[in-house]
Amino acid sequence: MATTTSHGVLMDRVYRHQRHVYDATRKYYLLGRDAMIEGLNPPAGGTVLEIGCGTGRNLVKSAQRYPDAAFHGIDISTAMLETAGRSVASAGLTDRVRLAYADASTFEPGKVFQRDSFDRIFISYAVSMIPAWRTVVEQAAESLSTGGELHIVDFGDLSDLPGWSRAALYKWLEWYHVTPRGDLFGQSAEIAAARGMSVRESRLYRGFAWISVIENRAFDAAVTAPRAVAA
């Protein structure tokens, strides 16, 4: 509980003022979010959860893109949730988007949203800010409905960018308590394999952004390695 509280306090401190300009400034480097949203494609009447919903930007865009689905969002920052609530209300989506305060690493969807599984779950640029991020991904995978998908977009390894550019970006991200997860694909593959699920990988913008998709479908024994999708 102490860890949950301290991380929530940290996120409130980081975003108390930034949340007001977050969407206007982050669009230049939180790349791949819209590509991830386009790939969600939830079933008609489906349910979608965003872990670490922040300002609500992605939830609003997703709800507008998929009008037949019901959306849910959690965040550990009360400041961000306040902003998300305003964004959802301004978009006229309060009847289709539910928000709740929760720590993603201990989140119990049955208690918070009265449902145990979702057709789609997505995490956008949050695993790089969550200390227990593997636990969060594991629990999210466990919360997928049959046929469900977990979509994760975050910073990649910038492998095709100049070394000085990578070093500068990583140093800048440290100031905001952001740690790119260079083992995201490997960890996702392990989590998927342990549950008989499959995984897809996408590398965007010369490795700047990575998208990992864990699919809760019948395991194909012929697939022995993650499928890479060229960007």
Give the pLDDT confidence score for residue 172 in this predicted structure. 66
CA 78 to chain centre: 18
- Low-confidence residues of the chain: pLDDT under 70: 1-29, 161-164, 172, 176, 218-231
What's this model's pTM, rounded to 2 decimal places? 0.81
pLDDT of residue 151: 98
Q: Which residue has the tokens 């009447």?
A: 45
Q: What is the pLDDT of residue 6?
A: 60
pLDDT tens for each residue of 141-186:
999 999 999 999 999 887 776 666 777 777 767 776 788 899 999 9
Task: Tokens for 125, please give them.
Answer: 């640029």
**Domains recognised in the chain with CATH numbers:** 2-229 (3.40.50.150)
